[in-house]
Amino acid sequence: MTTTLDRDKSFTLADADFNFICEYVYDSAGIVLNASKREMVYRRLTRIIRERKLPTFSAYCQLLKTKPEQEQTYFINAITTNLTSFFREQHHFDFMKQHELPRLMKAKANNGKRIRIWSSASSTGEEPYSIAITLFDTLKDKLNNWNVKILATDIDSNVLATGKAGIYEERRIEDVPLKFKKEYFQQGTNDNADKVKVDKRLQKLITFKQLNLLHEWPMKGPLDIIFCRNVIIYFDKATQQDLFERYYDLLAPGGLLILGHSENLGQYNQYFENVGRTIFRKPME
């Protein structure tokens, strides 16, 4: 009898194939994989290898080389780590509510009433929906008279589809405050009784689009707040610095760049003012 584990172990990931995979993922997504990620790569890719009924990792690498247009999306979707949650790092949303949105409302009340926010590695959508809830919770009825948009992008097409659909297992909103649960999530019925759907008002604020941060960014600034949380940890220093420069250029004077809990600006620190825990402001001109 073979267990799943035995079956998994029937594939061998040779150094040459692992090195090819590391180079491929770095070139296409900027993600740095090292030896400590070997098991993860093995687990995530054997699924695809089995689906394709391929005999070996080498055969899969060959397929990636010869048919990248067919395979790359599946490969990237399998390799990315999409861990996220509603109101992850709550203090960022508190800062938005207590400081940044009041500041923007004051500054823009007679100046276009336009607010633009970018969730630049949005994963399955919990981050942009948390931003949208914070906007509703802070601006309330005023939101109707304001021109507010959230752009949510990610490289992974699967997670974007989940974000767009806005349907989640109910357990995903366990820690969301009750008043938000009641106001912004609708309980599913019958087969979907264990699921919730986000309110259409939130969905209307958000546009989900596929975007590789390494590629050209089609949107025009200036942006007021950029969330770049828990993604640059996967990149090397050179890629990080390049991104920070591009985020800086896209931000309005006074705009915010928000990073994840274990991330920092490195050398780029000197161009921003640190105004909160992993919250950085581009100086006013």
- The residues that are catalytic are 44, 154
| 188: three-class secondary structure by DSSP | coil
Q: Can you give the C-alpha Rg of the chain in angstroms?
A: 21
Tell me whether residue 96 or residue 159 sits nearer to ligand SAM (CB atom): 159
**Residue 231 binding ligand SAM, by CB under 6 A:** yes
SS3 string, 214-248, reads CCCCCCCCCEEEEEECCCHHHCCHHHHHHHHHHHH
Cα–Cα distance for residue pair 188/176, rounded to 1 Å:
17
Q: How many residues bind ligand SAM (CB under 6 A)?
A: 24
Q: In what order do the strands lie in the sheet containing 273-276? A: 206-210, 147-154, 114-119, 223-228, 251-259, 279-281, 273-276
**Residue 282 binding ligand SAM, by CB under 6 A:** no
Residue 154 contacts residue 121 (beta carbons within 8 Å) = yes
Q: Applying CB under 6 A, which of residues 134, 138, 203, 230 lies at the interface with ligand SAM?
A: 230
* HSE-up of residue 24 (Cα within 13 Å, Cβ side): 21
**Residue 278 binding ligand SAM, by CB under 6 A:** no
| 49: three-class secondary structure by DSSP | helix
State the nearest-atom distance from the C-beta of 51 to ligand SAM, in Å. Answer: 20
Tell me whether residue 27 or residue 273 sits nearer to ligand SAM (CB atom): 27
**Residue 150 binding ligand SAM, by CB under 6 A:** no
| 141: three-class secondary structure by DSSP | helix
Q: Applying CB under 6 A, which of residues 88, 92, 116, 282 lies at the interface with ligand SAM?
A: 88
Contact segment (CB under 6 A) with ligand SAM among 36-44, 51-59, 75-83, 161-169 equals 75-83
**Residue 258 binding ligand SAM, by CB under 6 A:** no
Q: Applying CB under 6 A, which of residues 42, 61, 84, 176 lies at the interface with ligand SAM?
A: 84
Tell me whether residue 17 or residue 154 sits nearer to ligand SAM (CB atom): 154
**Residue 176 binding ligand SAM, by CB under 6 A:** no
**Residue 125 binding ligand SAM, by CB under 6 A:** no
Tell me whether residue 17 or residue 156 sits nearer to ligand SAM (CB atom): 156
Q: In this structure, are strands 147-154 and 114-119 parallel, antiparallel, or unpaired?
A: parallel
Residue 246: is it exposed, middle or buried by C-beta count within 10 angstroms (0-12/13-18/19+)? middle
Contact segment (CB under 6 A) with ligand SAM among 13-21, 33-41, 110-118, 120-128 equals 120-128
Contact segment (CB under 6 A) with ligand SAM among 40-48, 63-71, 184-192, 212-220 equals 212-220
Handedness of CA 81, 87, 91, 95 (dihedral sign): positive
Contact segment (CB under 6 A) with ligand SAM among 28-36, 67-75, 100-108, 143-151 equals 28-36
Cα–Cα distance for residue pair 202/235, rounded to 1 Å:
31
Q: Applying CB under 6 A, which of residues 234, 244, 247, 268 lies at the interface with ligand SAM?
A: 234
- Cβ atoms within 10 Å of 88's Cβ, excluding its own: 18
- Which residues are near ligand SAM by CB under 6 A? 29-31, 80-84, 88, 121, 123, 127, 154-156, 159, 212-214, 229-231, 234, 260
